[in-house]
Structure 1
């Protein structure tokens, strides 16, 4: 059983997979990514999995996704995983149990893949007592991942068992209808500190994008850069650097520089609480070169900074 503590939940969009691929060196010891495939084309996912596997990064790939307008089929994902040549011993099969799940399907998978590690993601299934009874004889269930708000304390209690990790994932990101509505700063999470108090072996979140999944964002009337930071007590907050112009969808590049200007101004202040991550330094370099890399890349840097900040905290 690996001893990593941070379990970020990602939805396998292109920049999220590039984020994993580019940072296998820094995430190798402390981070266990959970990846929910949302694309039928597995090319980017294959490259990410091969990079993670080569660097011996433990990860969980969800085999029954629910996100996306038409979720990717379980059969497609299992076929894809069986055709990867790399050593997949560091990969756990993730199975989502939600309100509509049929527990017998999970049992069949546990029987058919008896030599494969499983992580069960508890996302609204009503009865943990039934699960505990049905899976009690399987040694390939390695961890329970509880999504906060969908699996309460009593629910969690039935799934305590020696040798099985328990992870709590809490969404710290509070999305706004429009980017212009974000406050300058707000609380994000203290779970990185309090997860042992919750009886957990590890913690996770949906990074700086949140659990609300959408295929594409609408036109950006305002550009916002989201950056997490720790205060003097290591409690986690998030800055929202929002462009000055918020009233039309034109000139996203110019609006990016308005937001970036605020970020760099805050970061370079002598009392700044912003961790000088590799991602922060890349923001600084974009500022110096006045280069706009596109909003997908900006989101990637924001998520990378969040991961780097948590790794620094855990070390």
Structure 2
């Protein structure tokens, strides 16, 4: 059903680990593209997923990060600890510079890990579909694209198809419309209407990848909600700090953004679900505690998953 797409940074992996029971219970399948050289955190995360009787897709040929040139260590991790476990699928990333031959070879090398094809700009869909032949109907394809790519997806009719879209518009924090919601996605409502078996997104992080941010001139808390008064469309709030002219005092800027979030929650008009993550934001406000920007991002991602789990449950 829901396939959240994570880049395997520390707090993304922690989010999957901590949410593993809910992800499994909700039949949500995270897609993880490892970006850090050390794979210890990934291994712990996949174990947590399996222990919760959940499923995950791990990209074995990442584009971003430390494994962009060689995913052999990721393949070795799967081979060493998760071989024969259909809970963990090897994701084969198909980009514009991926040849059919390399896609075929990657598939053959990972047949023991229930491969999933992740399409992101690939140019040889017909050749791949013909190669799969009778096995096409049993294959799974994740399309990181727009709903309009119908001709491309037609090659894979009869297979299990998932559409992933980026609903998060990446800007400088100071440039977000403060406390003013904007549309995030309607795919959770419409994915079946366009012939998909499931849908996904890049949560409240977005598809744009960066190795690490510099000092934050502004701090923003990004939180999604589903609006029952607007056809259940998902919207996103950006609660932005008031001070944004220097890269100092992130704790003070977090307090400014958090104050705005709590005021909106207490107004009774936010439409934000009172998830466990929202309860933790309330606790942080009560304690006047700044846990760090990575932790804040983790809470926002967890709230997004909790919101969709409640809606789809």
Question: Could you say what secondary structure the match of 2:183 adopts?
Answer: strand
TM-score calculated relative to the size of structure 1: 0.93
Structure 1 window deviating more from structure 2 (22-31 vs 41-50): it is 22-31
For residue 40 of structure 1, report the CA deviation from its aligned partner.
Answer: 1.0
Paired position in structure 1 for 2:207: 211
Over aligned residues, Cα RMSD in angstroms?
1.8
> Could you tell me which of 67, 75, 80 is aligned with 1:78?
75
For residue 111 of structure 1, report the CA deviation from its aligned partner.
Answer: 3.0
Paired position in structure 1 for 2:107: 110
Structure 1 window deviating more from structure 2 (151-160 vs 131-140): it is 131-140
Answer yes or no: is the 8 Å Cα contact 2:59–2:91 preserved in 1. Answer: yes
What is the alpha-carbon distance in structure 2 between the residues aligned to residue 18 and residue 97 of structure 1?
26
What is the alpha-carbon distance in structure 1 between the residues aligned to residue 82 and residue 61 of structure 2?
22
| Count of aligned pairs | 308
Answer yes or no: is the 8 Å Cα contact 1:124–1:151 preserved in 2. Answer: no
For the pair 1:33 / 2:30, whether they are aligned, the reply is: yes
Paired position in structure 1 for 2:48: 51
For residue 26 of structure 1, report the CA deviation from its aligned partner.
Answer: 1.2
Paired position in structure 1 for 2:60: 63
For the pair 1:179 / 2:176, whether they are aligned, the reply is: no
Paired position in structure 1 for 2:237: 239
Paired position in structure 1 for 2:94: 97
For residue 218 of structure 1, report the CA deviation from its aligned partner.
Answer: 1.8
What is the alpha-carbon distance in structure 2 between the residues aligned to residue 208 and residue 282 of structure 1?
17
Paired position in structure 1 for 2:161: 166
Question: Could you say what secondary structure the match of 1:188 adopts?
Answer: strand
For residue 86 of structure 1, report the CA deviation from its aligned partner.
Answer: 8.3
Deviations 1:81-101 (A, max 9, x none): 122268732011100111111
Answer yes or no: is the 8 Å Cα contact 2:218–2:253 preserved in 1. Answer: yes
Deviations 1:22-48 (A, max 9, x none): 121211133100000001101111110
Question: Could you say what secondary structure the match of 1:104 adopts?
Answer: helix
What is the alpha-carbon distance in structure 2 between the residues aligned to residue 270 and residue 155 of structure 1?
45
Paired position in structure 2 for 1:307: 305
For the pair 1:296 / 2:282, whether they are aligned, the reply is: no
Deviations 1:211-270 (A, max 9, x none): 001010121000000000111231100000000001000000000010001111111222
For the pair 1:189 / 2:148, whether they are aligned, the reply is: no
Answer yes or no: is the 8 Å Cα contact 1:208–1:227 preserved in 2. Answer: yes
Answer yes or no: is the 8 Å Cα contact 1:118–1:141 preserved in 2. Answer: no
Question: Could you say what secondary structure the match of 1:39 adopts?
Answer: coil
For the pair 1:19 / 2:22, whether they are aligned, the reply is: no
Structure 1 window deviating more from structure 2 (134-143 vs 45-54): it is 134-143
For residue 116 of structure 1, report the CA deviation from its aligned partner.
Answer: 2.7
More helix by share: 2
Deviations 1:188-227 (A, max 9, x none): 0000001011110000000000000101012100000000
For residue 150 of structure 1, report the CA deviation from its aligned partner.
Answer: 9.6
Answer yes or no: is the 8 Å Cα contact 2:225–2:271 preserved in 1. Answer: yes
TM-score calculated relative to the size of structure 2: 0.94
After the TM superposition, which segments of 4 or more aligned residues of structure 1 sit over 4 Å from their partners? none
Question: Could you say what secondary structure the match of 1:195 adopts?
Answer: helix
What is the alpha-carbon distance in structure 2 between the residues aligned to residue 245 and residue 127 of structure 1?
49
> Could you tell me which of 111, 123, 129 is aligned with 2:126?
129
